């Protein structure tokens, strides 16, 4: 390492820049393991030194970081990373499990776990966006109506897009498989073990089918083309099926799959339940009628009581 480069990496800020590069997408490949009930990333010391001295082909080394000219120079920096506890030596105890080693010195034959997490700006922004998104979802009942309609259209469009994408992938695979090849469009699309970007790579995969599948391909092709023949020769039934699917999509976008009353309640779910003027007038009229009925009943009871009292007085006078 040149003297200027040696002085460069003696500054901890410059070491942080080097670690940001090593922990980034262009850095050396790392493995995942569990240590102290926590997921960690580790790498063998030899691979780390090899990458620092001679990066893999296609790696873009940052221009602001001096290159390492020899292995001793890279090992010296790795030892410094151990001293400042950016990496620590680990030992394998089982498959996918590590523990902290008692020996702390750097050795190319040992495994080292990354403690330095790198630049946390993107992670903090993603965490903030996740919290804001969660709060927005919980406040859905008080959203403006136009936002609710927008989210509804987006959800329906995404659902239809995924349905047609899956159907198209299956049909393309079926046609090519009948010929004798297995071709998938976006083969890793539903692989949960891969990241978001890796799920779209490669775009197309094509391999020759295994031996012994000829009878299956013939049987599937006969069944598929028989269905196609039935669909063409039965236009009335098939046209009804197509029309039904079109009506279903229209109702899905319009939000009228539910009954009219349920749709009305769904649209007014965030509105306060305030009675209208007509309802208030009807309520007042009904109260007046009830009071009038009660007053008439009370008058009849009073008249009946007075008649009873008069009859009793007459009886007493006769006696």
What is the tens place of the pLDDT at every residue in 197-226? 778 888 888 888 888 788 888 888 888 888
Which residues lie below 8 Å from residue 14, measured CB to CB, with a gap of 6+? Answer: 8, 65
How many helices (H) and strands (E) in the chain? 10, 7
CB 117 within 8 A of CB 41: no
- Please state the pTM of the whole predicted model: 0.46
d(CA 271, CA 279): 17
Q: Quick one: CA dihedral 206, 212, 218, 223, positive or negative?
A: negative
pLDDT at 270 > cutoff 60? no
pLDDT at 186 > cutoff 70? yes
- Of 16-20, 120-124, 176-180, the range with the lowest mean pLDDT is 120-124
Q: Could you report how far apart the first and last alpha carbons of the chain are, in Å?
A: 140
Confidence of residue 268 (pLDDT cuts 50, 70, 90): low
Buried b (16+ CB within 10 A) or exposed e, 176-201: ebbeeeebbebbeeeeeeeeeeeeee
d(CA 103, CA 150): 59
* Mean pLDDT of all residues in 236-245: 66
Helix (H) / strand (E) element for 192: namely none
* Mean pLDDT of all residues in 134-144: 86
pLDDT at 260 > cutoff 50? no
Residue among 116, 85, 84, 88 at smallest CA distance from 100: 88
Confidence of residue 129 (pLDDT cuts 50, 70, 90): very high
The pLDDT, as a whole number, for residue 244 is 72
């Amino acid at each position: 390492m040149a003297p200027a480069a040696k002085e460069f990496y003696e500054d901890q800020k410059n070491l942080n820049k080097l670690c940001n590069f090593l922990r980034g997408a262009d850095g050396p490949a790392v493995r995942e393991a569990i240590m102290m009930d926590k997921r960690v990333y580790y790498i063998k010391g030899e691979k780390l030194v090899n990458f620092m001295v001679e990066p893999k082909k296609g790696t873009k080394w940052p221009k602001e970081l001096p290159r390492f000219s020899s292995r001793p120079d890279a090992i010296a920096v790795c030892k410094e990373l151990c001293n400042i506890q950016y990496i620590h030596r680990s030992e394998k105890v089982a498959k996918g499990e590590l523990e902290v080693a008692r020996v702390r010195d750097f050795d190319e034959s040992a495994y080292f776990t990354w403690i330095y997490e790198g630049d946390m700006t993107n992670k903090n922004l993603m965490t903030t966006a996740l919290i804001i998104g969660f709060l927005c979802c919980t406040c859905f009942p008080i959203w403006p109506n136009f936002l609710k309609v927008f989210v509804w259209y987006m959800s329906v469009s995404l659902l239809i897009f995924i349905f047609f994408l899956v159907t198209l992938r299956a049909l393309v695979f079926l046609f090519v498989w009948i010929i004798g090849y297995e071709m998938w469009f976006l083969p890793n699309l539903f692989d949960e073990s891969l990241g978001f970007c890796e799920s779209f790579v490669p775009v197309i995969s094509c391999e020759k089918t295994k031996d012994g599948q000829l009878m299956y391909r013939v049987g599937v092709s006969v069944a598929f083309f028989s269905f196609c023949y039935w669909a063409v020769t039965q236009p009335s039934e098939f046209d009804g099926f197509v029309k039904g699917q079109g009506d279903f999509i229209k109702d899905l976008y319009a939000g009228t799959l539910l009954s009219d009353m349920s749709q009305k309640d769904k649209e007014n779910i965030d509105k306060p339940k305030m009675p209208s003027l007509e309802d208030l007038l009807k309520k007042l009229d009904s109260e007046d009628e009830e009071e009038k009925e009660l007053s008439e009943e009370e008058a009849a009871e009073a008249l009946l009581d007075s008649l009873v009292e008069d009859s009793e007085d007459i009886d007493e006078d006769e006696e």
